Structure 1
Amino acid sequence: MSILSLQNVSKSFESLKVTDGVSFDVPKGEALGIIGPNGAGKSTLFNLITGNLMSDNGKIFYDGRDVTRVPAMRRCLNGVGRSFQIPQPFEKLTVFENLVVAGAFGRDTSEAEVTQACAEILERTEMIDRANVPAGQLRLLERKRLELARALATDPKLLLLDEIAGGLTDAECQSLIQTIRDIHKSGVTIIWIEHVLHALTSVVERLLVLDFGRVIGIGEPGEIMESREVREIYLGIEV
């Protein structure tokens, strides 16, 4: 069964069409990667899935329900979580306090359950030793891990990751990949936008390629990266 289904979803800003008739399904438990050149509409697609933007046309189904006009807060409470490309934590709050805020507003449960869950998430994301550090003092990798932890604090069934590996060293990237693998193995469905292809393809089962808001390919990573159209459009290689 699909946890997410987009059917002919489109979004325009005045005369600019940034999402053009996008249709695809994501089965429960899958890890799907999304790639495409800058300006392809990847982040807009995430905003449509989360409800931060409303589509002009088409339908979005989450967990069997039509959520096309459901607001972002309700989608979050129903299990749609996300990280953002540029982490923007509450810098004067500690790492732990940042998680508690996310958990308190992003899940429908008691304060005690939120507190316990946040402690466990800090362990999973290797941030437990930074729990009492103000978020403004974190290094880049730690800020990325905090962004991931804040998304997990909402208890997502569907986790959207937006270029979470960007700007990291190879060693930092490998460490973060293992954390994402562990999250995926726990049963969380993942959709991951990423330009760091080796990170993406080491986790996902399928790749979806966007170009000018259109889906130009979706399938097994090796097959997609061998596609003539993908290599010409995404990699800039004339075949």
Structure 2
Amino acid sequence: MPILSLQNISKSFGALKVSDDVSFDVPQGQALGIIGPNGAGKSTLFNLITGNIAPDAGSIRFDGQDVTRMPPMQRCLGGMGRSFQIPQPFGNLTVFENLVVAATYGQDRAEAAVTDLCVSVLERTELLARANQPARSLSLLQRKRLELARAMATGPKLLLLDEIAGGLTEGECQALIATIRAIHAEGVSIIWIEHVLHALTSVAERLLVLDFGRIIGMGPPDEVMQSREVREIYLGIDV
């Protein structure tokens, strides 16, 4: 049984169709990368999966349950975690307090019951040394790590990452990739939108390519990037 299944998902804003009959499955434990030019509908797709917007047609199943009309909080409680492209932590709270908030609300557990979990997540995301530091004082890489940590604190079965490598130096990017790869190795399914292609392909087993809300390619990364249509649309190469 796939962890996530989208069937014939469509969404329009007025005359603009941002998701056009999108169907795909994510098997348990797989990492799926999503690429496409700006305006391709990648963020809209994430918002449909997480319930921030509702589809006009189609269905979404998560962990065997129809969640098409389920609100975002219920999807989170069911095991769907998400990071956002622009990290917006609670700046006046410490790094540890940010995780406690995510864990208590994202798992509906008492604060005292999530302490060990939060420490474990801080270790896995290399933020333990920053635990008592205000979130507003973190560097960009540390804020990206905190965004990842907050998503992990909700105890996700499926982790959605939205351009988490954007804006990082090559060295910072490689360090973050190592953390994401370790999380994936633990069995967490991942869907990752990213423009930093080498970061994405170092983790993802499959790529999905969007253009104007429709899927134009899906399969193993090497195979997909050899597609004439993908190279012309995504890479801007006249093949």
Q: TM-score range by the shorter chain?
A: over 0.9
TM-score (norm 1): 0.99
Q: Shift of residue 15 of structure 1?
A: 1.3
1:111 aligns with 111
Give the deviation of 1:109 after TM superposition: 2.7
Please report the RMSD computed on the Cα atoms of aligned residues, expressed in angstroms: 0.6
State the secondary structure of the residue aligned to 2:89. Answer: coil
Letter of the 1:199 counterpart? A
The equivalent of 1:53 in structure 2 is 53
For 1:176-187, list aligned pairs within 5 A.
176-187=176-187
User: Percent identical across equivalent pairs?
Assistant: 74
Secondary structure of residue in 2 paired with 1:176: helix
- Looking at structure 2, the residues matched to 171 and 223 of structure 1 have their Cα atoms a distance apart, in angstroms, of 27
Q: 1:87: which partner in 2?
A: 87
Q: CA deviation at 1:114?
A: 1.2
Residue 206 of structure 2 corresponds to which residue in structure 1? 206
Alignment correspondent of 1:76: 76
Counting matched residue pairs gives 239
Is 1:188 matched up with 2:201? Answer: no
What code does the residue aligned with 1:78 have?
A: G
Hey, what's the Cα distance between the residues in 1 that align with 2:51 and 2:112? 28
Runs of 4 or more consecutive aligned structure 1 residues displaced over 6 Å after TM superposition: none
Report the equivalent of 1:159: 159
Q: C-alpha separation between the residues in 1 aligned to 2:45 and 2:114?
A: 29
Matches within 5 A, 1:121-140: 121-140=121-140
Q: What's the counterpart of residue 174 of structure 2?
A: 174
3-state SS of paired residue (1:172):
helix
1:32 aligned residue: 32
Give 5+ residue unaligned stretches, structure 2. none
Aligned residue for 2:230?
Answer: 230
Which residue of 1 is the match for residue 66 of structure 2? 66
Displacement of 1:116 in angstroms is 1.2
- Residues 120-175 of structure 1 show CA distances to partners (whole Å, capped at 9, x for unaligned) of 10000000000111111010000000000000010000000000000000100000
TM-score, normalisation: structure 2: 0.99
Which deviations, in whole Å up to 9, do the C-alpha atoms of 1:9-61 show, x marking residues without a partner?
A: 01111111111110000000000000000000001100000011111100000
